[in-house]
Amino acid sequence: MTITASEARKLSDDLDRGLSLPAAWYNDPALSALEMERIFRRTWQYVGRTEQVAQVGDYFTGAVGDIPVIIVRTADGLQGLVNVCRHRRHLVASGEGNRKIFQCPYHAWTYELDGRLRTAPRSERETSFCKEDYPLLPLQVATWGRWIFANPDLDAPPLSDLLGDLPQIVARAGIDIDALQFWGREEWARDANWKIMIENFLECYHCPVQHPGFSAVIDVRPDAYSLKEYRWHSSQCGSVRETISGKEPPYDAAGDVREAQYHFLWPNFTISINPGRPNLSLDVWLPDGPGRTHGFSEHYFGADVPRDWAEDMIQFNAQVGAEDDRLTDSVERGVRCGFPDQGRFLVDSEHLCIHFQKLVLAALT
């Protein structure tokens, strides 16, 4: 699929006026394939935590877009590898653990931790076979604190360029990501395009109507709830309501964290920090064809946070997530029919959605 320069200019002008990307950008399989090639194979994406690979030989497997990957600790540091054997392209490793070598279970091609091919049975019978020609393919790997990101594009700019001021903004809320305790990870899948789900995350225009519990805790009035875009990320920040009249709050918001923060990092990483005790949750959103998204959520809490408070927070996040899922499922059904072809954003309240769509447009054109 190709998008002409004139088509790109028109779409950019439409976005400036508040018109959304057309329906085909959500339901065309060819465009979904183009997104995988030009976005998810060329960008930094979160894969896991440094404590998973603390010792030499520790590894875990994951995915960057549709590319299966291995993250491993070698004697020289973190290493990222494409988890595909150079022989018949079987996956080399699964799960996580500790290894001295990686061995493909199909024909026992064996690789060093850094990806170099050690042995290939019967290769000595081949007159032109050279082991040095067939290492596991490398990935770029970098960290933000304890969080590990990987990028299939070896020529991509460093992760720090993508992050910009985001680490400082998160710290402003009183959150030290390295001091938080990892609580758990859960995987999920939804019948909605990944862009629809992220666009829903990027605005709180719907919060007073659709999230009564959320709006009981956080001041979502447009003059109190800030929306700010940066080059590669965007941030929503709101203060905790000091008094709540006529509503029972869904959890106890008393604590040192007084600013709610919700961040998006291109292309598919989001962070949620709620008022109260130290807490953070993150989500990774991966397209699974044009009309389905899968991903995972992780939960973190301060070391002194009581278990019952953490469980209340996880339940609070799950309730907000369930409310959002009903919305994005419905939008997916509307987009599939193709009428109307374009939606209309409110530029003042939904400009982070426009910022995101411009990033998508730029990546594909």
- For residues 26 and 15, what is the distance between their CA atoms, to the nearest angstrom? 16
Directed axis angle between helix 351-364 and helix 194-201, to 10°? 150
Distance of CA 15 to the CA centre of its chain: 24
Q: Find the mean pLDDT for residues 308-323.
A: 97
Q: Find the mean pLDDT for residues 262-290.
A: 98
- For residues 248 and 217, what is the distance between their CA atoms, to the nearest angstrom? 9
Average pLDDT, the chain: 96
- For residues 22 and 97, what is the distance between their CA atoms, to the nearest angstrom? 45
pLDDT at 23: 97
Structure tokens at 125: 């019978």
pLDDT at 30: 96
pLDDT at 247: 67
Q: How large is the C-alpha radius of gyration of the chain?
A: 22
pLDDT at 363: 97
The domains located in the chain, with CATH, are: 45-155 (2.102.10.10), 160-364 (3.90.380.10)
Of the candidates 16, 34, 17, the residue with the CA atom closest to the CA atom of residue 25: 34
- For residues 315 and 308, what is the distance between their CA atoms, to the nearest angstrom? 10
**Does residue 246 have a pLDDT over 60?**
no
pLDDT at 245: 55
pLDDT band at 242 (very low <50, low <70, confident <90, very high): confident
The per-residue pLDDT for range 109-141, each reduced to its tens digit, is 999 999 999 999 999 999 999 999 999 999 999
Of the candidates 209, 232, 106, the residue with the CA atom closest to the CA atom of residue 159: 232
Q: Find the mean pLDDT for residues 246-259.
A: 86
The per-residue pLDDT for range 170-204, each reduced to its tens digit, is 999 999 999 999 999 999 999 999 999 999 999 99
Element (H, E) at 147: strand 147-151
pLDDT at 2: 79
**Does residue 48 have a pLDDT over 80?**
yes
Q: Find the mean pLDDT for residues 52-71.
A: 98
pLDDT at 248: 75
pLDDT at 115: 98
DSSP-assigned states of every residue in 291-356: T-EEEEEEEEE-TT--HHHHHHHHHHHHHHHHHHHHHHHHHHHHHHHTSSSS-B--TTTSHHHHHH
